[in-house]
Each structure stands twice: as structure tokens, then as C-alpha cells.
Structure 1
Amino acid sequence: MKRVLITAGASGIGRAMGAAFEAAGMEVWVTDLDEDALAALPTTWSSRKANAVDENAMAQVVAEMGSIDVLCANAGIAGPTALVEDIALEDWRACVSVNLEGAFLAAKHAAPRMKAAGQGAIILTSSTAGLYGYPNRAPYAAAKWAIIGLMKTLAMELGPFGIRANAICPGAVEGDRMEGVLAREAAAKGMTRDQVYDGYASGTSMRRFVEAEDIANMAVFLGSDAARLVSGQVIAVDGHTENPDPKV
């Protein structure tokens, strides 16, 4: 049975990915820092408490797996919502570290296992913030742009070994994490939560947020043999973002 490793897989997009990969017949391994969320995962999954930016922890998880067919480097945080001049360096570093270094470390330790097997798929979670500039979200946007550069480099380095790399760019995803973003943006812009929500939704041609399951379905496709020649691609699952600066 093929194995998938999902970082930050105990809730939100990561958990939806796990459910979708299990439904596709794969053995699911998950890392996360939220002990309560880990305890609530299906008993059929293998789960470990591990910080995505702790290299020793990630190396141990990959070693314990033994083989890894699909990696979903999904760990990320929203970071501060503020103008550039109001962002503390420590908050910038924390955001960039989790979003970028977490993906780097997961790929670094998964790649040798995939090379040995002569196949594999690496899926990095970027964002539509990796496609456009986003006011008040400088560290997050910078990290998500960098994710795409990392992915394209991985695709070039690992392609000769039968390993594919792609990035998914979610748009605004329904859930607790986006609710936090909406609240912070509303406070920063002097707007209501609903006004900010409507601004995001109206900035897409489909006029709606996406669901975590939409991202998970794309991940399963990219990890499958049906996508055997899909590599180095940036795929937005966002209902077609027209306006990256939400307005009412």
C-alpha cells in the first residue's frame, strides 16, 4: 500500500487531504503540533506530534515511515496582518520559517527515500498569495511565492529520478484559519467581518470561497498515476481569483 505523509494534517486542509488519500486507498501518516486534534484523528492513520521546522523531528518521522510515496508539505501559519512598517521582525521570521522552511525540511528528508524507490510525488501548499501581492500580508505572500520557486527547483532536480513536484495554490478556504484572517483584516481596515468576506468572494469569478475538500481532491490527483507527467506546475484551486486585493 502506498504511503502519504501530510504535515499539519490534523485539521483543516491537511485533515481533508488525509481523508481523501485514505479513500483513494493510501496509508496516511500525519504530523501536527495540536495534540487534541491528533487524538481525534481516525485510528487507521499513523500520527506523530512534530514541529515542521524541527529537522530532527521530521527526519525521525520519515525514517519511521521507511518508504514514502507522496509528500504533502502543508504546514503553514497566516502570520501578521499589518502594513510592512508595522511588522515585527520576529513575526516576519516566524511566518516565513513555518511556511517555507517547513516545506524545505519535509522535501529534504523525503527526497532520498523517493530517489531510492525511483518514484514519488511532492505536493507543496502555496496560496493565491503566492501568485499576487497581498496588502497587509507581506511575510505570508513572500513565503508563498518562495514555495513556488522551491517547487520548481525540486521538479528539476528530482524529475530524473521519477519524482514529480507541484504546488497547489488555495484561495480563501472556509474554516477557522480563514476566520482569523477575516477578523484581523476587518480590524486593520475598519470593516466588518462580513464586508471582508464578501470582498474576498467577489474577487473570484465563481463568487465563493473554496472548501478544504476541493484542495484535497487536487492533492489526490497530483499524487496519483493519473498525473504521472504533471510536474513543476502551479495549480490554483480558488474559483479563479480576479482581484487579489479584497474590496467592498
Structure 2
Amino acid sequence: MTGPTPPLADRAAPLAGRTALVTGGGSGLGRAITRSLLADGARVVITGRDEATLKETASRLGPHVSHRVCDVSRPDDVGELARSLAGEEISVLVNNAGIAGPVAPLTEITPRDWDEVFDVNVRGVFLMCRAFLPAMTARGAGDIVNVASVSGKRPLARRTPYCASKMAVIGLTATLAAEAGPSGVTVNSLSPGPVSGPRMERNFRLEAERTGSTYAEAEQAFVARSALGRMVTEDEVGEAVSAMLRMRGLCGADIDLSAGMVAR
């Protein structure tokens, strides 16, 4: 079982001495999550499919970051990753790797497109948890954070594979929390709303083309759904992951981080 909550004096670096594994860690949200975990005192291993990007991120973020090339949708890759980290005590797993998938009506989406989204966004979470959870349960402690999305909990036209995959991650999280919690392992999901950056810029361009509007109009129509009238930032997502890891009683939860976008 997990130990007692540390006194306040011990919380300056709440992850000091721990090693975290962040999938999709080379850029975007993964890079922001890694920065936040480093600030909390963790060592971080980042994974992804592009070795050049991983190397660049590891070099930029410093000596407490290492990298491994891994396609989380491939069982052989995940197995090799687990073997290569056998000497590391991975006590935090952040399943962040994901792809946006097609932007199209369901009737125009191919089975191959659908499977690609689910292979990365859902199968990847399953394979990573299956590989790294046993050591956590054997130690009686560990934390898993799965990055889902508010898009799994509200209608989002022309994005059925992505939305369905993120709802699947939320369901996986809730059930795995019930399985792993008695062994002292917490499992939670974080559901960001729209995050400012290249992915949303792509979506706004596509929506503007579809509707005949301008990019600015497509963006404004989207962010107007948010109480704060804006998207969240990558750094806010990274800080949210760290905050969840500090909340020792949090298990089986799904946390919205959407700047007030209505999720249900």
C-alpha cells in the first residue's frame, strides 16, 4: 500500500527521486508535461516515434531526461521498451501519445483511418499499462495518468474516431483504477479541452475550408464555447498532470481542464 502523506516540509520537490515515463514526450503536450515533472524533481524518460525530435527535446530539457524510440501501438516496441528500462524503477506513467485522426463525416472515414486512431490512442494506453503496471503493483505504489479529452464527452462533428477513442480511454482508466487501487497504484485521466498549438491550428484551417469562413471566424466560433473565451495552454496541461500526482487520494477520476468548455 502507499505510505502516509508526506509533511508539508517534504513537498518542495514532490517527485524527487522518482522516474516518470511519458509517451509522446518529444513535443507538444508531452514536452510540457515533461517540463512540469522535471520541475517537481522527477527524472523523466520520454518516448515517441521520431528519434530526432526526442533527442532534441532531451538535449533542450537537460541531463535528467532520457529518451527511447517506441511506437506505443506495437506490442513488440512496447515489450522492447520495458526490457530496456528493466533497471529503472518507473513509478509514474503518463500515457500522452495520441493522434488526431481524420476530420470528416463518419461515412467518409475508412476502416484503416479508424483503426489507426484506436491503435495509438487506446491500444497504446492498454499496452503501456500492461507492460509497466506489474512492477508498480509488486512494489505496492505507482501512479498512472492517461491523457484523454473533453472531446470524449461531448459532440464534436466530423471527429468520431478521435472522440470515441478518448471516451474509451476514460472507461479504461475507471476500470483499471478499480483493479490497481487495492495494490496501492493510482490511475486517473486528464481531459484537456482545446489546447492552443499546431493541432488546433490544423483543425481551424480545415473547418474554415469546410464552412467557407475565415480562419479567425472558425477559431472564434470554437473558443466562444469556453467560459474563459480561450483555449488552455500546453503548460497548463503539464501543470495539471503534476497537480494530479500531488493529490494522493485521487484515484479513478477524470479531470476536465477546458477553460470552462461545457463537456456534458
* TM-score using structure 1 length: 0.94
Partner of 1:64: 84
Matches within 5 A, 1:79-118: 79-118=101-140
Q: Which runs of 5+ in 1 are unaligned?
A: none
- Post-superposition Cα deviations, 1:47-77, rounded to whole Å, max 9, x if no partner, equal 0111011122222223333321111001111
Contact kept in structure 1, 2:153 and 2:263, CA below 8 Å: no
Q: Give the conservation status (yes or no) of the 8 Å contact 2:47–2:67.
A: yes
Quick one: percent identity of the two aligned structures?
A: 32
Q: What corresponds to 2:11 in structure 1?
A: none
User: SS where residue 69 of structure 1 aligns?
Assistant: strand
Q: What is the CA deviation profile of residues 90-117 of structure 1, one whole-angstrom value per residue up to 9, with x for unaligned ones?
A: 1111111111111111111111011121
Which residue matches 1:217? 239
Match of 1:207 among 201, 225, 229: 229
Corresponding residue pairs, total = 242
Q: Deviations over 1:178-213 (max 9, x none)?
A: 211222222233322211211121100010011011
Secondary structure of 2:90 counterpart: coil
Q: Distance in 1 between matches of 2:82 and 2:40?
A: 21
Structure 1 letter corresponding to 2:253: Q
SS of the residue corresponding to residue 170 of structure 2 reads helix
Matches within 5 A, 1:3-22: 3-22=19-38
Provide TM-score, normalisation by structure 2: 0.88
Structure 2 CA distance for aligned equivalents of residues 117 and 23 of structure 1:
25
| Per-residue Cα deviation, 1:153-194 (whole angstroms, up to 9, x for no partner) | 110000000001111111111111221122222223332221
Letter in 2 for 1:6: V
Q: Distance in 2 between matches of 1:122 and 1:9?
A: 15
Matches within 5 A, 1:149-164: 149-164=171-186
Partners of 2:259 and 2:107 in 1: how far apart?
Answer: 32
Task: Find the counterpart in structure 1 of residue 253 from structure 2.
Answer: 233
Question: Is 1:53 matched up with 2:73?
Answer: yes
Structure 2: stretches of 5+ with no match in the other structure:
1-16
CA contact 1:121–1:222 (8 Å) conserved in 2? no
